[in-house]
Amino acid sequence: MINRNPYIANLKAGYLFPEVAKRRREFAAAHPEAKVISLGVGNTTEPILPHINAGLVEGARRLGTVEGYSGYQDEGNADLRKKISEVFYGGKFSIDEIFISDGSKCDIGRLQTLFGAGTKIAVQDPSYPVYVDGSVLTGAAGGWQDARGGGYAGITYLPCTAENNFFPNLELIPRDSLIYFCSPNNPTGAVATREQLAALVDAAIAKGCFIIFDAAYSEFIRDSELPKTIYDIEKAALCAIEVNSFSKPAGFTGVRLGWSVVPKQLKYAGGESVNADWARIAGTIFNGASNIAQAGGLAALDEQGLAEIRELTDFYLGNAKLIRAALQKLGINCIGGENSPYIWAHFPGKDSWEVFSRILEECQVVTTPGAGFGPAGQGFVRFSAFGHRADVEEACARLSGGGFV
Ligand code: PL4
């Protein structure tokens, strides 16, 4: 009989979001009368806006015509790649440095094949679970260890707490490691300043590290002083890969479209090109994003599409403001929710899964327990601003009863 991949056995628990969904289902089964509202998983709820939707429809229509039909486009639509470079990076990348994906999560997983087993990993703690769980699956991380709040061997957790203003101590980053960094951050909602990102890039270059920079929430940034991409920092192309997505800004969570930037300047210790390797890997184990999704992506990046992105992200930021205000009225300290769709609420001394259960029982509102994002998430709960306005208002009214505090 064939053996199981031993790295799978290293995973300590199930993936966070299905676990939250399971507990929600169990609660709903036990309380069939309850109208449960989800402020848990960051899943978009609002319809795709008309201009972008028309781009999708037109993309589908063209596939039914001789002139408009297209098949495999492994590397992605060249017009879309060019447009991404222009809109997000001031045209500084050539189209063969922009790789279209079926979403940023999918590329975060695939990118790990560039480095392989035994790579040292550093993550913001707390962080989006895919960085850690994906590292375990590729063997970059080892088994679970209970010491110091728990964590996987081979992963350096960089605590992001109120004490350090949710930006990690860069001295903790090991030499020659792969650093996952997300800004605006999931789950804390914190956004790194230009100075902080510059310090991160300097540290990475000095220590021979690469950064995988996850900018999936960049379109929620409203403060013009805050950087939307790591490539705003000079020299970042020497040490960073950026992943991004149409999921949250355009409502493409189910459509599936994203991209990765792998600069040609990026070189391994031996001088080999990371870009060439990524083209090789992507060409081997990925067959391109849907042509329909890419047509929608092109529509999203013209003038009308960008205005719709602004409208949609404004809507979710409006939800975030309501949630934040409701929590603050109860005296709960929270950050995020201003340039980000997540609010990170602090319940000092409490277990985050217990707070999750209390909020579910008292308010029939689903959240995400902070401990699921890493050891430093203990005592926190994440509220997502993705929801219909009426549901968010109803959730805020229920929360304001405060029975769970
Ligand atoms: C639940 C920092 C959400 N099933 O849609 P994608 O693949 O382009 O984006 C995924 C993604 C990438 N980077 C960050 C993210 O936060 C997300 C989406 N995260 C959340 O609630 O934290 C959805 C999670 C989904 C999942 O596992 O990704």
Return all residues near 18 (Cβ < 8 A) that are at least 6 apart. Answer: none
How do residues 223-261 score in pLDDT, each as one tens digit? 999 999 999 999 999 999 999 999 999 999 999 999 999
Question: In angstroms, what is the span from residue 203 Cα to ligand 1's centroid?
Answer: 27
Minimum CA distance residue for ligand 1 atom 23:
42
How many Cβ atoms are within 10 Å of 270's Cβ, its own excluded? 5
Handedness of CA 149, 40, 192, 250 (dihedral sign): positive
The pLDDT value given to residue 403? 84
Question: In angstroms, what is the span from residue 274 Cα to ligand 1's centroid?
Answer: 25
Ligand 1 within 6 A of 220 CB? Answer: no
Burial of 403 (0-12, 13-18, 19+ CB in 10 A): exposed
Question: In angstroms, what is the span from residue 257 Cα to ligand 1's centroid?
Answer: 12
Rounded Cα distance, 58 and 156, in Å: 47
Ligand 1 within 6 A of 38 CB? Answer: no
Ligand 1 within 6 A of 182 CB? Answer: yes
Ligand 1 within 6 A of 41 CB? Answer: yes
Confidence of residue 160 (pLDDT cuts 50, 70, 90): very high
- Residue 181: strand pairing partners: 213
How do residues 191-218 score in pLDDT, each as one tens digit? 999 999 999 999 999 999 999 999 999 9
How do residues 347-386 score in pLDDT, each as one tens digit? 999 999 999 999 999 999 999 999 999 999 999 999 999 9
Rounded Cα distance, 20 and 40, in Å: 8
The closest-lying atom of ligand 1 relative to the alpha carbon of residue 15 is 27
Ligand 1 within 6 A of 186 CB? Answer: yes
How do residues 232-242 score in pLDDT, each as one tens digit? 999 999 999 99
How do residues 378-403 score in pLDDT, each as one tens digit? 999 999 999 999 999 999 999 999 88
**CB environment 354-372: b (16+ within 10 A), e (fewer):** ebbbbbbeebbbbbbbbbb
Measured at the CA of 319, the angle between CA 369 and CA 43, to 5 degrees, comes to 55
For residue 241, the 8-state DSSP code is E
Pocket residue to mutate for ligand 1, from 17, 104, 105, 132, most atoms within 8 A of Cβ: 105
Ligand 1 within 6 A of 253 CB? Answer: yes
How do residues 10-44 score in pLDDT, each as one tens digit? 998 778 999 999 999 999 999 999 999 999 999 99
Mean pLDDT of the 169-189 span: 98
Ligand 1 within 6 A of 134 CB? Answer: no
Ligand 1 within 6 A of 102 CB? Answer: no
The pLDDT value given to residue 148? 72
Pocket residue to mutate for ligand 1, from 19, 102, 186, 259, most atoms within 8 A of Cβ: 186
Residue 51 has which token pair?
A: 């201009």
Ligand 1 within 6 A of 17 CB? Answer: yes
pTM of the model: 0.97
The closest-lying atom of ligand 1 relative to the alpha carbon of residue 258 is 8
Ligand 1 within 6 A of 257 CB? Answer: no
Minimum CA distance residue for ligand 1 atom 19:
42
Ligand 1 within 6 A of 340 CB? Answer: no
- Helices of type H across 91-155: 104-111, 129-137
